[in-house]
A = this chain, B = another copy of it.
Amino acid sequence: MATATRNVPEIAKRASRGLAAATTEAKDAALGRIAELLHERAREILEANAQDLADERAAGLSEALRDRLTLNEERIAAMADGVREVAALPDPIGEVLVERTLASGLRMRKVRVPLGVIAVVYEARPNVSVDCAALTLKSGNAIVLRGSSYAARSNSALVAVARDAVAETGLPDGSVELLDGAGRSELTELATADGLVDLLIPRGGEGLKEALKAVATVPVMYAAAGNCHVYVHEDADLEMARAVAFNAKVQRPGVCNAAETLLVSASVAKRFLPAILTDLRQAGVELVGDERAREAADGVAIGEAADADWDTEYLGMKMAVGVVDSLPDAIAHVNRHGTGHSEAIVTSSEKAAEAFTEDVDAAVVYVNASTRFTDGFEFGMGAEIGNSTQKLHARGPIGLRELTTFKYVVRGEGQVRD
């Protein structure tokens, strides 16, 4: 970690060649050792974290960001548990995806292999260092981490744990690297390290995303936020709709699979809206709505929605409410304003469910369930490194398999092409 910034991707690239050939046992041993060391060094880690929190760089942080930066015994134990859970997942590497004898007599195998070097750029939460290192090691990839300057000591202590575990269990030196410099120029170097960084994953807000879009030449997978909708169809079980909409908004409003907009069929707006809007208001949700939603609100406090509201990911206790005339109108609204993350319909009609799931263009489309289920654990994929709203390579939860690629291995006896 004393190396100059520009060498870090090279060091990681060299390590990745050895990691690709590492056995499942060796990788799991490293993860097990990370979990142990997290417990053994909990005091050092908490001291580093306390220094970060006391530092002037952390002085300007919002209360939410300070909370995300803060570590405690429980959070360290949760990190260790998470690492052990990743160790327990099946190793994706070496899986034979296709095996076929070609017309030429060649024997072709399509085999899952690591990507190589994965760079993760993240803000605030130091546990991302450990979560991501565990996922990349298990999938045979080297990782380059680049956290926030105000979390530098915490990240450094956590990455030291991962590096020591790697060294003690015989995985290649350089498998887990932390970038010292956290400035814009280091970010640009990382984002343009063609041939060295095989995938860059930014975990942060729209500002980080836009900055990377402007400069990145290496492949980038955006673990994006979501502008998610719950649509209540005219034949919905309204009690079910009430529970689903409430959960999708309120259960954890700061995450990407929380709902931001409630759409309601005009034919049930008057019957449905007063109850759910009351629930939401009582939970402390600020409401804005279109004209018909406000008319149907029956006295519940609801402001006037501006055009921008339909495109806003509040990531907090606010919700936009709209009334639509038909299922096609609901689908059109979702496709126009959604970010392709998670979208839900509540309906008792199979025909409406089919139209919605077919025509809505999103990673995950729900029928009669909360959008909050979009998650690697919930989907049975194990841990996740984020959720992708892009269509190429990974869509939805980014788990171990999404951190791999494949190669074709073709064997012959001297075949040449005619």
Contacts and interface: CB of A to CB of B under 8 A. Distances in A.
Contacts of A221: 392
A88 interface: no
A413 B370 contact: no
A414 B346 CA distance: 8
B369 A392 contact: no
A58 interface: no
Interface in A383-418: 390-393, 395-396, 405-418
Contacts of A353: 411
Contacts of A17: 335, 359, 361
* Chain copies in the assembled complex: 2
B198 A417 contact: no
Nearest to A18: B359
A244 B357 CA distance: 51
A235 interface: no
A237 interface: yes
Contact of A409 (B217, B365, B409): B365
A110 to B, nearest CB: 8
Given A116-B361, A407-B362, A412 B217 contact: no
Interface stretch (A38-46, A158-166, A182-190, A372-380): A372-380
Contacts of A412: 366-369
Interface residues of A, number: 68
B395 A393 contact: no
Contacts of A378: 102-104, 106, 417
A27 to B, nearest CB: 16
Contacts of A213: 217
A240 interface: yes
Given A369-B412, A370-B415, A363 B407 contact: yes
A391 B198 contact: yes
A246 to B, nearest CB: 8
A244 B416 contact: yes
A357 B103 CA distance: 21
A197 to B, nearest CB: 11
Nearest to A405: B391
Contacts of A393: 392-393
A379 to B, nearest CB: 6
A170 interface: no
16 contacts: A20-B359, A21-B359, A102-B378, A103-B378, A106-B369, A199-B391, A219-B391, A243-B414, A248-B416, A251-B416, A346-B414, A367-B409, A372-B416, A373-B410, A374-B408, A395-B405
Given A17-B361, A199-B392, A364-B410, 11 more contacts: A104-B373, A221-B392, A243-B416, A357-B407, A363-B408, A365-B408, A368-B413, A369-B414, A370-B417, A374-B408, A396-B407
